Amino acid sequence: MGGAHPTRPFIALNRRPVVTVSRREFIAAPIVAGAVAATGSTLAAEAKSKQPDFRYCLNTSTIRGQNLGIVKEVELAARAGYDGIEPWIRELEAYVKDGGNLKDLGKRIADHGLRVESAIGFANWIVDDDAKRAEGLEVAKRDMDMLKTIGGTHIAAPPVGAHRGSPKLDLFKVAERYRALLEVGDQTGVIPQAEVWGFSDNLSRLGETMFAVIEAGHKDACILPDVYHIYKGGSDFAGMAAIAGSKIHCFHVNDYPADPPRDTISDKDRVYPGDGVAPLNDIFQMIAANGFAGVLSLELFNPGYWEQDAEQVVTTGLAKTKEAVAKAFS
């Protein structure tokens, strides 16, 4: 470098504080970085050698086509051996409409030894229209209140209303809107999870969704990843290695076939974990290495499974999910 004196310190121009680094220290930095990388590799290897204690959850979409209702779904999930259940808000609404009491439902779920790990709602929290967004936050509060009544603490927050035919939203605005939703969660005691939707015009990629999580600037901000959606949206699964396990409560698990291709594949093509080509070994190893201690929720929309006996589907789904996890750490 022209004009540089051999003993002159190298100055790292960070914002603050200004750090001076000698040339010897600068030259040694790659060695230190290599040691850190080696340590990371060691941690990953250690994570692989020990199977983590994940929890397992049934997302009720997996047996939606059987039209059983939430009470029967709870019974099946418990009998199959799941740790929790992830209902859809529309099911809770139907239960109440038919005369059910949410507190009674919450007791039934707890009596069956299940947790309400998450739930699926569709509030328009992200949209540009101020009036629609305000209404969406009211819907979100109502959904959260219902969920809290049955013992739930987390709810999915997909980019509903900005997912098809929507302009690309400014990610800083998305982060502001996600924070507003998180503040509704502060009032209700339920945490909204920013969900990756691979087919969406917005928040279809891991990076976009994590941008909103980070820039929301809220302690409870977190991401809800999904194996199928990560693939559909075009993100590389290697990006999961950059996400702290503490920022994931619920991970939607499934698999997908090699055909149809990414551009035409859809939710109905999801299959049991291990029956497709998703790099599940890598995914499970990465999230375990990053400290994930949450729940794997089986979320499928396969019409072929909906034609089968529901108990067979939930039992097979849990067995295959556990087999996929065991394989990753064998």
Q: 105: domain CATH number?
A: 3.20.20.150
Nearest to 181 by CA among 244, 125, 102, 124: 125
The answer on 150 and 69 residing in a single domain is yes
Check residue 256 and give its pLDDT. 98
Check residue 50 and give its pLDDT. 82
- Among candidate residues 24, 49, 74, the one where a domain is terminated: 49
User: Phi/psi at 155 (nearest 5 deg)?
Assistant: -140, 145
| Contact yes or no for 155/143 (Cβ under 8 A) | yes
Nearest-Å Rg of the Cα atoms of the chain is: 22
Amino acid at 210: M
Measure the CA–CA gap between 175 and 156, rounded to whole angstroms.
16
The answer on 6 and 132 residing in a single domain is no
Nearest to 305 by CA among 315, 295, 290, 296: 315
Strand 295-298 to 19-21 pairing: unpaired
The answer on 45 and 61 residing in a single domain is no
Measure the CA–CA gap between 215 and 221, rounded to whole angstroms.
9
Nearest to 267 by CA among 230, 233, 229: 229
Q: 3-state class of 81 per DSSP?
A: coil
Nearest to 64 by CA among 53, 81, 76, 54: 76
Query: How many separate domains does the chain show?
Result: 2
Strand 154-157 to 191-195 pairing: parallel
Digits of tens for pLDDT over the chain (330 positions)? 444 333 333 333 333 333 444 444 433 444 334 443 444 455 455 555 588 999 999 999 999 999 999 999 999 999 999 999 999 999 999 999 999 999 999 999 999 999 999 999 999 999 999 999 999 999 999 999 999 999 999 999 999 999 988 899 999 999 999 999 999 999 999 999 999 999 999 999 999 999 999 999 999 999 999 999 999 999 999 999 999 999 999 999 999 999 999 999 999 999 999 999 999 999 999 999 999 999 999 999 999 999 999 999 999 999 999 999 999 999
The answer on 64 and 45 residing in a single domain is no
Measure the CA–CA gap between 169 and 166, rounded to whole angstroms.
8
The answer on 165 and 26 residing in a single domain is no
∠ CA 174-178-183 to the nearest 5 degrees? 150
User: Phi/psi at 236 (nearest 5 deg)?
Assistant: -80, 135
Which residue range(s) make up the domain with 179?
51-328
The answer on 184 and 129 residing in a single domain is yes
The answer on 150 and 5 residing in a single domain is no
The answer on 66 and 22 residing in a single domain is no
The answer on 64 and 179 residing in a single domain is yes
The answer on 64 and 21 residing in a single domain is no
Q: Which segments of 55-138 are extended strands (E)?
A: 55-59, 84-86, 115-116
- Among candidate residues 34, 49, 64, the one where a domain is terminated: 49
The answer on 191 and 87 residing in a single domain is yes
pLDDT digits (tens, 9 = 90+) for 209-231: 999 999 999 999 999 999 999 99
The answer on 35 and 155 residing in a single domain is no
132-139, long-range: CB < 8 A, 24+ apart: 132/161, 133/177, 136/160, 136/161, 137/180, 137/181, 137/184
Check residue 6 and give its pLDDT. 37
